[in-house]
């Protein structure tokens, strides 16, 4: 299982970015993919999760209505579309995977099996 996040950058508050998580070595349908973030001096936190097989998504309250997670199984890629970005969204964003048979509740920081390298998102005020 390999994951690679990309798409981070510098954006002004109110702007948008789309992050991509390229997956290889496994079938997306067999896994739950999650986006997590870690701001400077803070613990890593969950942002959003998706199960393409179960057609289910989850969003943290802090991003609900602004972020959208989606999966393109043909491209083996999961996206995180981020709109109305705020300075407090500034963080390193990571994608991670956990086997679907571990259950939806496993899509938390300590439950994920595999992690990709992060991509930095900086939102200026």
- DSSP E strands, 52-117: 56-59, 67-72, 77-82, 91-99, 114-115
What would the pLDDT profile of 55-71 be if each residue is shown by its tens digit?
899 999 999 999 999 99
Residue-wise pLDDT for 81-120, tens only, equals: 999 999 999 999 999 999 999 988 889 999 999 999 999 9
């Amino acid at each position: 299982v390999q994951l690679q996040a990309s798409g981070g950058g510098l954006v002004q508050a109110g702007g948008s970015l789309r992050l991509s998580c390229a997956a290889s070595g496994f079938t997306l349908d067999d896994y739950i993919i999650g986006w997590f973030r870690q701001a400077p001096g803070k613990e890593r936190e969950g942002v959003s999760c998706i199960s393409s097989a179960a057609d289910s998504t989850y969003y943290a309250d802090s991003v609900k209505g602004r972020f959208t997670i989606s999966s393109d199984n043909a491209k083996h890629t999961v996206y995180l579309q981020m709109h109305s970005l705020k300075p407090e969204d500034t963080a390193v964003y990571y994608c991670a995977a956990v086997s679907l048979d571990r259950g939806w509740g496993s899509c938390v920081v300590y439950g994920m099996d595999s992690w990709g390298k992060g991509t930095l998102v900086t939102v200026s005020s």
